[in-house]
């Protein structure tokens, strides 16, 4: 296995591992993440993703080449760690209302599927949370059915509502906060993945499995009210 | 204590930033123009990381309820105390009842107001910085508005000092970048065009990212990548070929190709470019960037040491 480096400005370096994206690569990445944190002076923080670690460093403490050499030396030791504790979480999702899933029709048309096909495919799959990124608590999900693969929006939207459930490329996502983004929005879940006022603001963690249950607008509204009243707990197996 | 009479369009409490949280999707926030922020704190007699205000395009109006020192730096927003013009880039003393107003920025976008002692808001995840989209930190996670009250930490009044050399916010800046991490996903022509052209700052720009308009930058094979981490200053290019520079409140990861990264020491000048004005970029090596960073830090130290 090999490791590649490229600069991300003067304060960060992108470290990329070779291999198929999957649980094994993810475990190697997280092991390397831990090794770097424990043993390399001058590292400020690390952001893991699918096949990369973005390593922020202080160039007044360690230079670019010195950091590359240190990480290359650690990489062989980054064996797969123990599998993360796995939970399966079910999130309700309303696909049927265009207010909540504005791109459902466009996706169906572009992929040559019916609306019902898109809903059945998306809610029938099981997703894995690889890492949290883009926004607070926002999960990166793999497991999107192949028939739903679609390039991202050519021009990102400037605003997407929190709870929006979208697809793009091989990924699925749930928007944690109102933000710009390039995913096609199929529906919305009333359960927040980030709640800044909650004792535990982040719902999901790396290694979780996730399923979406299609609900109609009436049930969506009921669940949203229950969430607001703090009387709702997500189904976790 | 400071009472806000008018918050302006976007005035937030910031310190140097919230670090170590990017892996949970929480960006550092902190001042967009770190140099101007740090210098405001030094003029107010504070440590560099004391919490202060960042104002955007139009400043706030506020009343001072206890004697304190303060300083205004950054964008050229005219300052008045009880209607009388007051200088920027110097230590000012306010007494109870004084009303301070910052006007419309004549040049630049963001100005900073540091108060002696620093602003006392609770630390959230180790920082007092406001993260607007996440509603975290600062004062209730939001921009300031009328009737907000800001408590200051107790501090002795500092001696009056002044900084002569200030950035020229009206000029078209040349912004240094390091190519990568995905420069290989762009055509050789694109890599030539990008530094050779002027890019206009668009009004949709905010603390998350700056949208630019100029000659389209062409990809070799699509604009999507498997998402990876985004650095401060990452220049991402979506399918329309227009660059977006990611800033203090950026998304921690993203799925568009990144042509280059703005050097940390030029972020401050870059974020002061007003919508409608333009910037140019110049590519430097990582080693050159590190040399320039060291020079920049030395110069920043010297600017505030000559009293």
Residues in B closer than 8 angstroms to A170, CB to CB, are 226
- Beta B2-6 vs B61-64: how paired, if at all? antiparallel
What b/e sequence results for B145-159 when a residue is b if at least 16 CB atoms lie within 10 Å of its CB, and e otherwise? eeebebebeebeebe
Closest Cα in chain A to B294: A60
State residue B112's pLDDT score.
98
pLDDT confidence tier of residue B248, bands split at 50, 70 and 90: very high
CB contact under 8 A, B134 and A136: yes
Asked whether the predicted pLDDT for residue A85 surpasses 60, the reply is no
Closest Cα in chain B to A181: B254
Q: Among A68-72, A166-170, B302-306, where is mean pLDDT lowest?
A: B302-306
Asked whether the predicted pLDDT for residue B307 surpasses 60, the reply is no
Beta bridge partners of A141: A129, A172
CB contact under 8 A, B254 and A180: no
Count other Cβ atoms within 10 Å, centred on residue A229.
8
In a mutational test of the A interface, the residue from B226, B283, B285 whose CB has the highest number of chain A CBs within 10 Å is B226
pLDDT per residue over B256-301, tens digit each? 999 999 999 999 999 999 999 999 999 999 999 999 999 999 988 8
Q: Provide CB contacts within 8 A for B70, sequence distance 6+.
A: B44, B91, B92, B94, B100, B113, B114, B115, B116
In a mutational test of the A interface, the residue from B125, B213, B216, B228 whose CB has the highest number of chain A CBs within 10 Å is B228
**Is B258's Cβ below 8 Å from some Cβ in A?**
yes
Residues in B closer than 8 angstroms to A196, CB to CB, are 134-136, 141
In a mutational test of the A interface, the residue from B229, B259, B262 whose CB has the highest number of chain A CBs within 10 Å is B229
State residue A22's pLDDT score.
84
Q: Provide CB contacts within 8 A for B233, sequence distance 6+.
A: A9, B177, B245, B246, B247, B261, B262, B263, B264, B266, B267, B270
pLDDT per residue over B175-189, tens digit each? 999 999 999 899 999
Instruction: Specify whether the CB–CB gap between B1 and B78 falls below 8 A.
Output: no
State residue B232's pLDDT score.
97
Instruction: Please compute the mean of the pLDDT values over residues B180-201 and round it to a whole number.
Output: 92
In a mutational test of the B interface, the residue from A133, A195, A197 whose CB has the highest number of chain B CBs within 10 Å is A133
CA angle A38/A39/A43 to nearest 5° reads 85
Instruction: Specify whether the CB–CB gap between B249 and B27 falls below 8 A.
Output: yes
CB contact under 8 A, A132 and B141: no
CB contact under 8 A, B238 and A154: yes
pLDDT per residue over A107-124, tens digit each? 999 999 999 999 999 999
Nearest CA-CA distance, residue A168 and chain B, Å: 9
Q: Among A196-200, B145-149, B167-171, where is mean pLDDT lowest?
A: A196-200
Asked whether the predicted pLDDT for residue A71 surpasses 90, the reply is yes
Residue B274: strand, helix, or coil: coil
Nearest CA-CA distance, residue B179 and chain A, Å: 8
Which of B197, B289, B284, B189 minimizes the C-alpha distance to B243?
B197
Rounded Cα gap, residues B152 and B79, in angstroms? 21
Rounded Cα gap, residues B8 and B302, in angstroms? 33
**Is A202's Cβ below 8 Å from some Cβ in B?**
yes
Rounded Cα gap, residues B43 and A8, in angstroms? 33
Which of B190, B194, B196, B286 minimizes the C-alpha distance to B245?
B194
Q: Could you tell me if residue A203 is left (phi over 0), alpha (psi between -120 and 50 degrees) or otherwise beta?
A: alpha
CB pairs under 8 A between A and B: 174
Q: Which CATH code of 2.60.40.1120, 2.40.100.10, 1.20.210.10, 2.30.30.140 fits the domain covering A88-236? A: 2.40.100.10
Closest Cα in chain A to B295: A60
Residues in B closer than 8 angstroms to A5, CB to CB, are none
Asked whether the predicted pLDDT for residue B306 surpasses 50, the reply is no
**Is A54's Cβ below 8 Å from some Cβ in B?**
yes
What b/e sequence results for B90-104 when a residue is b if at least 16 CB atoms lie within 10 Å of its CB, and e otherwise? bbbebeeebebbbee
Asked whether the predicted pLDDT for residue A127 surpasses 90, the reply is yes
Q: A3-77 has which CATH code?
A: 3.30.1360.40
Instruction: Specify whether the CB–CB gap between B235 and B177 falls below 8 A.
Output: yes
pLDDT confidence tier of residue A2, bands split at 50, 70 and 90: confident
Among A53, A180, A182, select the one facing B255 at the smallest CB separation: A182
Rounded Cα gap, residues A65 and A52, in angstroms? 18
Residues 80-119 (B) with a CB less than 8 A from some CB of A: none
Closest Cα in chain B to A158: B204
**Is B191's Cβ below 8 Å from some Cβ in A?**
no
CB contact under 8 A, B180 and A14: yes
* Domains recognised in chain B with CATH numbers: 2-150 (2.60.120), 174-303 (2.40.100.10)
Which of A229, A225, A222, A207 minimizes the C-alpha distance to A82?
A207
Higher pLDDT, B47 or A34: B47
Domain ranges for chain A, please list them: 3-77, 88-236
State residue A177's pLDDT score.
87
Rounded Cα gap, residues B178 and B185, in angstroms? 15
Among B230, B255, B289, select the one facing A10 at the smallest CB separation: B289
Residue B56: strand, helix, or coil: strand
pLDDT per residue over A155-206, tens digit each? 888 899 999 999 998 889 999 988 888 899 999 999 999 988 776 678 887 7
CB contact under 8 A, B23 and A176: no
Closest Cα in chain A to B288: A10
State residue A1's pLDDT score.
53
Closest Cα in chain B to A37: B20
Asked whether the predicted pLDDT for residue A83 surpasses 60, the reply is no
CB contact under 8 A, B238 and A59: no
Rounded Cα gap, residues B307 and B304, in angstroms? 7
CA angle B90/B93/B96 to nearest 5° reads 150
Residue B270: strand, helix, or coil: helix
Asked whether the predicted pLDDT for residue A78 surpasses 70, the reply is yes
Residue B118: strand, helix, or coil: coil
CB contact under 8 A, B261 and A63: no
Question: Could you report the predicted ipTM of this complex, rounded to two decimals?
Answer: 0.94
Closest Cα in chain B to A52: B228
What b/e sequence results for B213-240 when a residue is b if at least 16 CB atoms lie within 10 Å of its CB, and e otherwise? ebeebebeeebbbbbbbbbbbbbbbbbe
Asked whether the predicted pLDDT for residue A234 surpasses 90, the reply is no
């Amino acid at each position: 296995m090999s490791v590649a480096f490229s600069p991300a400005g003067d304060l960060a370096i992108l470290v990329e591992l070779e291999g198929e994206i999957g649980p094994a690569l993810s475990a190697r990445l997280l092991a390397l993440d831990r090794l770097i944190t424990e043993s390399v002076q001058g590292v400020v923080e690390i952001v893991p993703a699918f096949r990369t670690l973005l390593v922020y460093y202080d160039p007044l403490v360690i230079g670019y080449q010195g950091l590359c050499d240190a990480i290359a030396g650690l990489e062989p030791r980054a064996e797969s760690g123990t599998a993360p504790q796995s939970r399966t979480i079910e999130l309700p999702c309303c696909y049927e209302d265009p207010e909540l899933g504005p791109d459902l029709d466009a996706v169906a048309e572009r992929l040559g599927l019916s609306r019902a096909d898109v809903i059945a495919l998306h809610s029938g799959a099981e997703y894995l949370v690889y890492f949290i990124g883009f926004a607070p608590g926002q999960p990166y999900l793999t497991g999107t059915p192949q028939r739903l693969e679609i390039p991202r929006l050519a021009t990102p939207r400037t605003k997407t509502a929190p709870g929006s459930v979208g697809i793009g490329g091989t990924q699925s996502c749930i928007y944690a906060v109102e933000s710009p983004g390039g995913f096609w929005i199929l529906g919305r879940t009333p359960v927040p993945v980030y709640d800044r006022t909650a004792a535990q603001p982040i719902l999901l963690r790396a290694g979780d499995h996730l399923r979406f249950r299609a609900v109609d607008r009436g049930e969506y509204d009921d669940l949203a009210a229950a969430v607001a009243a703090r009387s709702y707990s997500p189904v976790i197996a | 204590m400071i009472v806000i009479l008018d918050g302006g369009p976007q005035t937030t409490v910031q310190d140097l930033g919230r670090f170590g949280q990017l892996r949970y999707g929480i960006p550092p926030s902190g001042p967009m123009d770190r140099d101007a922020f740090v210098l405001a704190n030094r003029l107010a007699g504070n440590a560099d990381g004391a919490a202060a205000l960042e104002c955007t395009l139009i400043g706030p109006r506020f009343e001072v309820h206890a004697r304190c020192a303060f300083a205004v730096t950054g964008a050229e927003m005219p300052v008045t105390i009880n209607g009388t013009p007051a200088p920027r880039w110097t230590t000012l003393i306010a007494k109870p009842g004084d009303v301070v107003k910052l006007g419309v920025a004549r040049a630049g976008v963001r100005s900073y107001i540091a108060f002696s002692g620093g602003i006392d808001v609770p630390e959230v995840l180790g920082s007092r910085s406001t993260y607007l989209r996440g509603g975290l930190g600062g004062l209730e996670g939001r921009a300031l508005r009328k009737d907000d009250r800001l408590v200051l930490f107790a501090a002795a009044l500092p001696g009056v000092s002044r900084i002569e050399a200030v950035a020229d916010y009206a000029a078209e800046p040349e912004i240094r970048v390091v190519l990568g991490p995905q420069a290989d996903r762009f055509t050789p022509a694109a890599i030539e065009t990008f530094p050779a052209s002027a890019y206009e700052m668009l009004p949709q720009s905010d603390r998350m990212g700056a949208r630019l308009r100029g000659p389209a930058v062409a990809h070799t094979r699509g604009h999507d990548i498997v998402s990876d981490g985004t650095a401060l200053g990452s220049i991402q290019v979506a399918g329309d070929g227009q660059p977006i520079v990611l800033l203090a409140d950026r998304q921690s990861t993203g799925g568009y190709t990144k042509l280059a990264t703005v050097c940390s020491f030029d972020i401050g000048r870059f974020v002061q470019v007003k919508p409608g004005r333009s910037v140019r970029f110049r590519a430097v090596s990582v080693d050159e960037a590190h040399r320039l960073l060291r020079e920049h830090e030395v110069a920043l130290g010297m600017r505030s040491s000559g009293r």
